[in-house]
Chains A and B, each alone.
Chain A
Amino acid sequence: MFENILIYFVVIPLVMLGLLALCRDIKQIRAVAVVGSLGLIALSVYLLVDYLGLRAAGNEAPMLYTGSWVWFEPLNIHLAVGVDGISIAMLLLSSIIVFAGSFASWEIKQPKEFFLWLILLSTGVFGFFISIDMFTMFMFYEVALIPMYLLIGVWGSGRKNYSAMKLTLMLMGGSAFLMLGLIGIYYHSAPEGGQLTWNLLEIVDNASIPHGWQSFLFPMTFVGFGVLGAMFPFHTWSPDGHASAPTAVSMLHAGVLMKLGGYGCFRVAIYTMPQAAHELSWIFLILTGISVVYGAFCACVKTDLKYINAYSSVSHCGLVLFAILMLNETAMTGAIMQMLSHGLMTALFFALIGMIYGRTHTREITEMGGMMQIMPYLSVCYVIAGMASLGLPGLSGFVAEMTIFVGSFKAGMADYLAGAGSLRLVFTLIACCSIVITAVYILRVVGKLLFGPVHDDHHRQLTDASWWERLSTVTLIVCVAGIGCFPNFFNTLINFTFKPAIFSVLGMN
């Protein structure tokens, strides 16, 4: 079992948990967190390189590094792991954000407990991305959700109890749907008389879910994951939750956890039930299309920085699900890139907001102004994050959005010309409009918060970023710019891997 490299994505956090429990003072805690997350980054980079090497050597299997160990025999539950390019991209993203998050919570109160929960959460995240067994996947999913309640409830700010409760309950509600869906898939995972399985690869190979069941199970799983992906109208946990969460938790949650939703929608809902995905995608297309513009419009009038960013996340994550539903290779590539891009960018945003909030003790943009004069470093980072968010070329947002638009426009036109309705086309155009609205709310915030005269003279004494804050932001900015400048690397990484899946989906066209 331990000869499989993927296991270490769970082992390292678990070891970190153990070490954290032994830590005596904050220095040791920081050391454990930093060394551990560096280890995770190293591991994921090694995995990336090794993976590319294997692919270059002509390994065409849909998942590499697969391994499977029986866990509960009667229900055929395994601890099954395996990765493709998408999972690797997500693992890389998660490890980077955990790293940046550790630095962003450098001076948190009650650090030991905080980091224990945070690392437990990331255990869940890593476990989720390496699993290919639906049951273990679900288990890790829950492991990632529960610590959120405590992290927000204890270390949060504002209406933290309400927000923590709301977030947890809504996500749990989503998991309820999800569980129904997963169990349904399990009971149809093999042809009559065959051995039932939770393993995604086997389920896809068997392709034995009856059509009628698909149209019931697809919405279940899609909504289940979609709640975490902040799909309209199940997004309201996101503004409140993010507004109350401490910095690192916001980062991790918006940066990685919301991606669990998109990843799950793709990997479970669409991967296993392509027919239903094809037939029912229109419902979710409408919902996600609405999310895209709706989140952006809502962000235009909010005055709380975290609310603005949370609504912006609704908009961007809506774009992820939207692109996935286009069932088009380019759009799906774009969706994965948007996940990466949004993860990094929004983590950067939340880190910066947390740092600004930590100094000014307010998040109302009406109570701040002229931050550029007071904390130039943070302000410049904020402008960069904003530019990434509104899709400036050279930063990650642009490539992701353009890939999505090109792909979904293609899907939309193909539908339209084939006489299959203009829904996709219309919603593609509507989603395109979001680039303008995004510009409006980003520039509104930048203008009010960073530029202009200093609003409050008390703010003049505030200091600029400390070294750990700089490290945290620089890490994220470098990644954002890296994706933005060299998109083709990620494009091929993602694109090469999910072709078989895509073809099985497109085969339905």
Chain B
Amino acid sequence: MEISAIYFLVPSLIMFCCGLYGFITRRNMIAMLISLELMLNSVDMNFVIFNRFLFPGQMEGMMFTLFAIAIAAAETALAIAIIINVFRSVNHVDVRELNEMKF
């Protein structure tokens, strides 16, 4: 039984789709952020998988993932700061009610 790249890519794909689904459907901004993390993670995995299976001697994919994780951390921290701020001013984090800036 050969475990080829496809075996890793399929779960990663499913994870991405779950992230997408969650991002579209969840109303809580934190839940959306969680979905976003799922998608991001799935992409990280893909980088690593492709690096490992197609270019085993090099490190681009891995390094990219490494940086992506760092950026994800930064992004999450900032997003959560904004979410908390929003919560302070409107007392909820329901994304559908936050449409004052439309048009």
**A contacts B directly (C-beta below 8 A):** no
**Interface of B toward A, CB cutoff 8 Å:** none
**Interface of A toward B, CB cutoff 8 Å:** none
